[in-house]
Amino acid sequence: MTGNTGLITERCNAFGAERGGEQLLGGVYSDKYVGKYHWYCKEPAIGRYTMVCTGGDYGFRVQADGGLIKAYHCDGGHKGTPQPLCKIHVQHFTVGPPKAGYTRDLKTPVGQIGGTVANELCPACAYPPEARSLQERADYLQQQMSRIMVSPFLNNQAEFKRLEQAQDTVRARLDELNQTGRVHKCPLILREVS
């Protein structure tokens, strides 16, 4: 084999696509979410694809007349890093996860949010910056409270109460973000990029 045909045969990078691309995730998923096993697809890529957030309407808020209306409209458009994909994986990501339900023996739930296929939800929508910093704050407060609980030397009721109240405030705000649809689960669709 000599010469350059000008065609670059890329390997499928379904693994990268599953992660949604570092840019889209914005560091939300550290390696602990990726799982222990790095797997690779040996098929040649048929093109480059990216996951695009579809947008949608989420949450409810009470109107002046007491009626409920959709609270949050998401324009979508969040994009992952383009990845070369093979035919099989293009199909896999296009079809997406099975509809929520159960396997034939009715024992295992399938196709639900939180499954293993990345195109179920847009991470940028599910973890907006405010929710992320609130979650970090909640984790920190929880840690402080645990420390007081396990140590006889730190048996400080007043401090515990203060932490507990701070935690309630953080959780209330997180609940609000969920209820108003600011935190929501937008589906992702696969688009070919040139």
Which of the ranges 103-111, 152-160, 162-170, 184-192 carries the binding residues for Zn ion, by CB under 5 A?
184-192
The 50-89 contact track toward Zn ion, x by CB under 5 A, reads ---x--------------------x---x-------x--x
Backbone dihedral angles phi then psi of residue 55, each to the nearest 5 degrees: 75, 180
Q: Decide if residue 43 touches Zn ion (CB under 5 A).
A: yes
**Contact residue for Zn ion among 17, 118, 125, 177 (CB under 5 A):** 125
CA distance 115 to 35: 13
Single residue of 41, 52, 134, 141 touching Zn ion by CB under 5 A: 41
Q: How far is CA 180 from CA 47, 61, 144, 171, 173, in A?
A: 38, 6, 29, 14, 10
Q: How far is the CB of 70 from Zn ion (least distance, A)?
A: 13
DSSP reduced 3-state for 137? helix
Taking contact as CB under 5 A, which single stretch among the options 13-21, 26-34, 106-114, 156-164 is the one that binds Zn ion?
Answer: 13-21
Instruction: Pinpoint the alpha helices (H) of the chain.
Output: 14-18, 22-25, 31-34, 87-95, 123-126, 129-150, 157-179
Q: List residues near Zn ion by CB under 5 A.
A: 12, 14, 41, 43, 53, 74, 78, 86, 89, 122, 124-125, 186
